[in-house]
Chain A
């Protein structure tokens, strides 16, 4: 069952501000003038076909890629102007959930969660670390997997552990890269619910990259449709898809026919 989305958005405070963002790889112009504001407590879904630069966008936000042109302001800091230490400081406030989870293969679930925590919260005692691990595992509903290796988990479980690993540092912003890609419908709904629970429980602002309309409808306070390197329409799910624009209708129709 899809849960009712909680909404507690502060439209006076943008946590992410993107202005005239361009990015090219050689002759391939991926982003061609992106403008986007994400407000405190808001979940923004970026929709678009594969290869339209959705993942590139969030990788620029977190500083994994440099913008070609334009500015990306995250929590009041211009990402491409930060030095190494400042960027690391900013990244502590951003959680990034990877498309394929990117769990550390050589570590157990518990070690995956413990690793970032003990490095960044050196003052925590053993029991505080244990409590923090139990808390996030409980939040994603996988307390029983603590001793398992990532290879022993299902795709959905891996995604949830990936989210738990980011939550353990209590980020202010969450970036989800294709959170439901490759999952069965039930697992997808569980992930959608988890994204909403994270927003409610941890008061995060999020960007959710997806081409899954069910995910977009369930999690997005606002949807931005990316096509040819630009947002061609932004608004609520119904506003974006209540249009006769053929470029958007075809995406909608195909998703539901599929």
Chain B
């Protein structure tokens, strides 16, 4: 009866654009709520620690493998171009700049967007569709603080640590290749590598990793927390979390590089 008598739906602009702007409004609210909740006691220290373990420790194997291979392959691929000019001795500094400035933050973030972001979205999404989030709420537990704030904090804290670890492992991969080909000692390799690295490079990379971590956590939580349409929705949330996180990571990368370049310019 209702569906027969129901008046036609009205849109401010169009159905798609309305949904788009509504989504932006809801996302902004979500971010605002995070900052409102995160500094207000009680603090979820146990859950934050558990999430840091989930995000950090459980990503170590993947980060180690990817970081090592990135360093090794990047060195291998760069050698022919440099050897044409007899400049293979520049390899450590070239690789260190590439790894610390760009590759380590970006590779770590992309891996975490895939592994951690999708995991967060799927976990919260399934909690949402099975009413576990409602169950938290009716048990007088603030689900936003317990689930969202703890996860976003964990990704924001752990990403810079994972990034630094990834950079170290990538440098070791690079060293392996340089040592095998040029018999360079580890001390010489790292002296050369760090001779061209400045504080600004490290600061920028850490800042990038913090922003990427925040983005991954926020997008994963937002997608999971707003999951609808049952188990199918959980899959969509996990997928959307990865795609949207990666999109934002690339945009942020471009913006931060622009700012860093501007800062480097005398």
Q: Which residues of A contact B (CB under 8 A)?
A: 26-29, 59, 62, 64, 84, 88-89, 91-92, 94, 96, 98-100, 102-105, 115-116, 119-120, 165-166, 169
Contacts and interface: CB of A to CB of B under 8 A. Distances in A.
Nearest to B134: A64
B198 interface: no
B6 A27 contact: yes
Contacts, number: 54
Interface residues of B, number: 17
B135 A89 contact: no
A64 B140 contact: no
Contacts of A102: 130-132, 134-135
Contacts of B126: 105
B163 to A, nearest CB: 28
B139 interface: yes
Interface in B1-58: 2, 6-7, 9
Nearest to B1: A228
A42 B131 CA distance: 27
Contact of B132 (A29, A88, A104, A166): A104
Nearest to A96: B138
B135 A28 contact: no
B53 to A, nearest CB: 14
Interface of B: 2, 6-7, 9, 126-127, 130-132, 134-135, 137-142
A91 B135 contact: no
Contact of A91 (B7, B127, B131, B139): B139
Nearest to B42: A119
Contacts of A84: 142
A47 B2 CA distance: 21
Given A27-B7, A105-B126, A94 B132 contact: no
Contacts of B141: 116, 119
B46 to A, nearest CB: 10
13 contacts: A28-B2, A62-B138, A84-B142, A92-B140, A96-B135, A98-B131, A98-B134, A102-B130, A105-B127, A105-B132, A165-B139, A166-B139, A169-B139
Contacts of B132: 102-105
Given A105-B126, A116-B139, 18 more contacts: A26-B9, A27-B2, A64-B137, A84-B142, A89-B140, A91-B137, A91-B138, A91-B139, A92-B140, A98-B131, A100-B130, A100-B131, A102-B130, A102-B135, A103-B132, A104-B135, A119-B141, A166-B139
